[in-house]
Amino acid sequence: MKPRQFCRLWLNATEDEEQSRGYRTQCVKLLSRIIGVEENTIERWGSGIDFPGMPAQYENTLSYALTIKRMLEEGGKAQRDIFLEVLKQLEDS
């Protein structure tokens, strides 16, 4: 998944909101958290909200993250609790 599409779907943004002040900064922060790289690294991937210099290996990560987000939103609290427990187990191992 391309970063522009990911940010739009994650943030539930419209085309107008994509053009608003501060949207790119939101995307940089979001991509940094999801991918696990520094914000200044993402800044170097290009201007605008397309981030054309993003390495292709991160496209799958963005797709997986969005899928997990949607699953948690649809599954309700019980699903979130299960997911948090899985994350805890992964951190402990």
Structure confidence by residue, pLDDT tens digits, 11-66: 999 999 999 999 999 999 999 999 999 999 999 999 999 999 999 999 999 999 99
* pTM, full prediction: 0.80
Q: Are 32 and 7 in contact (CB under 8 A)?
A: no
pLDDT of residue 30: 96
Instruction: Tell me which of 54 and 91 has the higher pLDDT.
Output: 54
Angle at 32 between CA 23 and CA 24, to 5 degrees: 15
pLDDT of residue 36: 93
Instruction: Tell me which of 70 and 78 has the higher pLDDT.
Output: 70
Q: Is 9 exposed, middle or buried (0-12, 13-18, 19+ CB in 10 A)?
A: middle
Q: How many CB atoms lie within 10 A of CB 83?
A: 14
User: Distance between CA atoms of 67 and 29, rounded to whole angstroms?
Assistant: 19
